Structure 1
Amino acid sequence: MNQTTAQLAEAIWAARQAGRTLDAEATIGTPDLATAYAIQRALLGLRLAAGERVVGWKLGYTSEVMRRQMGIDRPNIGPLTDWMLLGSGDAVHERLVQPRVEPEIGLRLKTALDARHAPVDRHTVAAVVEGAYACLEVVHSTWTGYRFNLEQNTADNSSAGQVAVGPRLPVTDLMALDTVAVRLHDGSRTLGQGVGADADGHPLDAVARLARELAAMDRRLEAGDLVITGGLTAACALEVGGRLSAVFSTGAAWSIEVAVQRP
């Protein structure tokens, strides 16, 4: 395509601001992955110019169930901003015209994590995590009907819409996060089930991979960053007037719920 990355980012931003969707192929074609991330960075620049600030990162397609649902063959990443954060039970913004919900384990860092200068693994990540949180990511694609490939989705910030951040999970050992069970429901029926291990094998491993990917871009994770580690079930549509919840648990030990609704 003849348009610049800045122009393509502006087209995505304008659609998101107006609450409308676009045809991915007609809008940006299929850029290579490096160009897709360049468009994503330009899109973030527009968010920052509008007064938003980066508060963390999302990991997309870390689970097989999400890759299978969307026909994506490997994970990607995208920044989170303060505008995207919701509390449990909050309503999503009206600009999200085709929201879907997926439960995720969020990890908040107490100190920076930089993979540019030293190897990072799950133990390195565990040492800098302040806490794990029950989260519901509300994905929203600019692309009509969620019809996209990996590159188009990456340019659109990996469909990042908003994130409902729920209670802290009362885990005593972060290494056991892979055993946390989650159930997504609409109040009357279960829509999906998963466990923490569905996110890259372990949520801590997912963050380690993110740190390495950021290092390749000459970046690092910052103190206070929230990282949502990937959907543990398939994403389910959040209908107008609807409410979806997820229950995170370790058997009878504890059970934590987070919810989001659409006006």
Structure 2
Amino acid sequence: MGRDRVSPDLIQECGDALYDAWRERRTLAPLLERHPDITVTDGYAIQSRYVARRLQAGERVVGKKIGVTSKPVQDLLGVYEPDFGQLTSDMVCTEADGVDLSTLIQPKAEAELAFVLERDLVGPGITATDVLRATAYVTPCFEIVDSRIRDWKIKIQDTVADNASCGVFLLGQAKGNPRKLDLTLAGMVLQRNGALFSTSAGAAVQGSPVNAVVWLANTLGRLGLPFRAGEVILSGSQSQLLTVADGDELTCHIGGLGRCTARFHGKAAL
């Protein structure tokens, strides 16, 4: 509070270091160990540099993800609001192809609900009704998070800088009308290799996945960043993080909506 932000040179240095770590499939020491003055605001500036490097290499932004939506994770990181990251074209996986772990470093999977927009959504001032009206459909999905920070020893500044620990994501084929589903009470059943792993409900995410999207639309709006038609929004995990390996299969079922299956192959770097 009241101090100058870290220098633009340090922002660029950290963003480039994270990009190089992603490209080379290796990890870095936590940024806060080397630069303890980095704030969350600095973290988003570093994220912007990291994502810009990926866009310069030919990717494009296809959506956003919301992270740190559950109270246990917020308590762990010492922060009491979500964070966000940017989804790029190279992060997209399909049920048909599965997830190639050889492109990742230290991946963990989580099941959640994705929103796909049919209209632009420009905050601030966005309400839950606005989100529902702008959404073409919702679908079950898996996000496979990945950290460029060694051993997942992250504080909120580290994960924000590291693009909210984005790895890859996979959307299901089921498409539901969010105006006809109770996304708060809709139950999720997660299976791992055919066995029950966990159960949850949409209320685990900020009281409702819609609330998480409202938060992000308004947060981005204050930053001058709109959601565009066609973008994907990952609304936040409804499951525990699962470590995944070659041959694993995860399936999540959302009541009244359908299922998504992720099959994993290859070997991660760590």
Identity of aligned residues (%): 24
Mapping of residues 156-195 of structure 1, within 5 Å: 156-171=162-177, 173-174=179-180, 176-195=182-201
Stretch deviating more after TM superposition (147-156 or 162-171): 162-171
Stretch deviating more after TM superposition (92-101 or 217-226): 92-101
Note if contact 2:16-2:50 (Cα within 8 Å) is conserved in structure 1.
yes
What residue number does 1:218 align with?
A: 224
Distance in 2 (alpha carbons) for counterparts of 1:168 and 1:207: 20
Shift of 1:166: 0.8
Letter in 2 for 1:36: G
Mapping of residues 107-256 of structure 1, within 5 Å: 107-116=115-124, 119-171=125-177, 173-174=179-180, 176-250=182-256, 255-256=258-259
Shift of 1:169: 3.7
SS in 2 for 1:256: strand
Structure 1 pair 256/228, CA: closer, same or farther in 2 (3 Å)?
same
CA shift digits 1:79-136 (9 cap, x unpaired): 10111111125123413121100011000110101114xx211101111100001110
Mapping of residues 62-81 of structure 1, within 5 Å: 62-67=69-74, 73-81=80-88
Letter in 2 for 1:149: K
Distance in 1 (alpha carbons) for counterparts of 2:103 and 2:216: 28
Matched, 1:59 2:59: no
2:261 pairs, out of 254, 258, 261, with 258
- Taking only aligned residues, the RMSD between alpha carbons, in angstroms, comes to 2.1
Give the structure-2-normalised TM-score: 0.88
Shift of 1:21: 1.1
Give the structure-1-normalised TM-score: 0.90
Would you say how many aligned residue pairs link Structure 1 and Structure 2? 258
1:91 pairs, out of 92, 99, 116, with 99
CA shift digits 1:119-165 (9 cap, x unpaired): 21110111110000111000001111211101111000110100011
Note if contact 2:138-2:178 (Cα within 8 Å) is conserved in structure 1.
no
Shift of 1:208: 1.0
Shift of 1:63: 2.1
Stretch deviating more after TM superposition (64-73 or 162-171): 64-73
Distance in 2 (alpha carbons) for counterparts of 1:71 and 1:261: 32
Note if contact 2:249-2:261 (Cα within 8 Å) is conserved in structure 1.
no
Letter in 1 for 2:84: I
1:38 pairs, out of 37, 40, 45, with 45
